[in-house]
Amino acid sequence: MEGQRVSKMAEDYLKIIWEAQEWPDGSVSTNGIAASLAVTPSSVSANLKKLARDGLIDYQPYGSIGLTPVGQEIAIMVVRRHRVLETYLVERLGLGWDEVHAEAHSLEHAVSDVVLDRMDQVLGHPAFDPHGDPIPRADGTIARSSERSSAARLSEVDPGTEARVIRISDHEPEILQYLEERQIAVGTHVHLDGRSPVVGSVSVSRSSATGEHADRVEIAIGAADAVWVSVDPHHVGPPDS
């Protein structure tokens, strides 16, 4: 499925709205869009009104923001371009996972569907990008991981919980670098040892190859907010004594 091409501004807004609502409890606001694009809320409001007039979003000032069917179709295709590009830059060009978000954002508005589909083919049609986000297929469908139903932010799970990292937000390269230094990546199995609101951190142990807990690390709450984990319902409880 080839998405309708619209302006760069429209693509940026539609992608932000779609991604903001992609994960549980996600929502989007004028101020949130303004922060993402580093523009003023008044500029965002004006552009949202234009997108509504163009039939791409459902929007009323001070109300909720949603995508129309046409807007959603375009958003999914922009997300597909972004995530295939990120994956290609990491897997084929050797860029770090903390470097590719900005590069993919620049390229996603210019790459053709022919080139993108070839990249996807060379990669073997991956279902997820390097940060754990699902990559929409060419027909617009999306493979949802079964782990998504038990997904929660690492900063919010209870001490004593066993979990597996399934997604890390790619919007802040510094956080990706910070987590990489602590060997926290998509696929890492962790045990939440404790949370310290006063210090502003969580303590986790990575699981060893034998399943034992080892290598305890402290992770700042801001970084833990960017980490989504799939919680093992059979291992949720108070911290180990």
Which distant-in-sequence residues (6+ apart) come within 8 Å of 136 by Cβ?
76, 77, 79, 80, 83, 142
Task: Let me know if 229 is exposed, middle or buried by CB neighbors in 10 A (0-12, 13-18, 19+).
Answer: buried
Task: Look at residue 238 and tell me whether its pLDDT is greater than 60.
Answer: no
Tens digits of residue pLDDT in 79-104:
999 999 999 999 999 999 999 999 99
- H-assigned helices in the chain: 8-20, 30-37, 41-53, 69-91, 100-107, 113-123, 173-181, 221-224
pTM of the model: 0.86
Q: What is the pLDDT of residue 181?
A: 94
Q: What is the chain's alpha carbon radius of gyration, rounded to the nearest angstrom?
A: 19
pLDDT recorded at residue 240: 43
CATH superfamily for 147-231 is Ferrous iron transport protein A (FeoA) (2.30.30.90)
The 10s digit of each residue's pLDDT in 47-85 is 999 999 999 999 988 888 999 999 999 999 999 999 999
Q: Which residues of 155-178 are buried (b: 16+ CB within 10 A; e: fewer)?
A: bbbebbbbbbbbbbbbeeeebbeb
> What is the rounded CA–CA span in Å between residue 189 and residue 145?
16
Q: Per-residue pLDDT for 13 more than 70?
A: yes
pLDDT digits 0-9 by tens, 106-137: 999 999 999 999 999 999 999 999 999 999 99
Q: For the chain, give every domain's residue range.
A: 1-144, 147-231
Q: Is 80 exceeded by the pLDDT of residue 36?
A: yes
| pLDDT confidence band for 234 (50 / 70 / 90) | low
Inter-residue contact 105 to 82 (CB < 8 Å): yes
The CATH-assigned architecture of domain 1-144 is Orthogonal Bundle (1.10)
